Structure 1
């Protein structure tokens, strides 16, 4: 009963950082690369076995198995390419965000510099006229 009516477990908050998302995609891409490497090793092993076998149903079965593995490898490669393009897009977004932050900081520096310059000219004008009249 306690399990059915207990409060929900708190989930980890989802990270909203573009860099975190890019890192997750990169990790997934690495796992897919590992799967592709394993399939390559198995395919080369099947290739050697097929070369050594005599033509017949056993060789055809090995060829069919190798073809299925090759199809699976192509699927993984397609997924990896999709992840790479997503990672590239996220990197582009991160670059754009950094550019916007830099522009904003630059504008803030210009505003403070211009206000200080304006204050200095105002003070020199005010005190310059006061000093010359006395």
Structure 2
């Protein structure tokens, strides 16, 4: 029966959407703008006719038609102003709704994060973390000591003192200086130079 005569009950129509309503109103504003531009073009033609038509019945007829178009233009402009105001109000309402939705989502995310943080904190013990840190520090210290022991040289006598080694090094440096400049070379006279010496075999001039 419902197929033949239709259903008498009310249909569950979805509530109007703000974005769709705003887009519809913007489309109407664009349509009104197109009508206003068309009227402006016709008014320009009537203006030219009035300039060419002398005073008389013809001029009055053109003037009445131009006045009618001008009245239509004013009505369209008023409609455009009203629709733009309504569209602006809807945009502000839509912005408020979106902001509230974003705020609600942010609060939900913060609650979830706080819950996870509490669960993770329950699984951790500050004292155990401190003990673990101290244990790691001790292991690092033991590792450094082991590396130091392993890096020592083999076969180094225990009776050698650092002061004795420094004294011996100083003696080696003094001995090296003597080898480079021996004192016995100072007693040997230097050989004469041959500069400006005339040979006895040279013929007299």
The equivalent residue for 2:30 is 30
**More relative contact order in 1 or in 2 (CA 8 Å, sep 6+)?**
1
TM normalised by structure 1 equals 0.82
Counterpart residue number, 2:85? 85
Correspondence for 2:94: 94
> What is the match of residue 113 of structure 1?
113
Relative to 1, partners in 2 of residues 1:72 and 1:14: Cα closer, same or farther, differing over 3 Å? farther
Is the radius of gyration larger for structure 1 or structure 2? 2
Partner of residue 75, structure 2:
75
Matches within 5 A, 1:22-61: 22-61=22-61
Q: Residue 16 of structure 1: CA displacement? A: 1.6
Report the alpha carbon displacement of residue 117 of structure 1 after superposing the two structures with TM.
1.1
Q: For residue 58 of structure 1, report the CA deviation from its aligned partner.
A: 1.2
- The corresponding residue for 1:104 is 104
Shift of 1:73: 0.1
Q: How much does 1:124 deviate?
A: 2.1
The corresponding residue for 2:124 is 124
For residues 83 and 20 of structure 1, the distance between their equivalents in structure 2, rounded to whole angstroms, comes to: 15
TM-score (normalizing by structure 2): 0.55
Segments of 5+ residues of structure 2 without an aligned counterpart are 129-205
Aligned-residue CA RMSD (Å): 2.4
**How many Å separate the matches in 1 of 2:109 and 2:31?**
45
Structure with the higher helix share, 1 or 2: 1
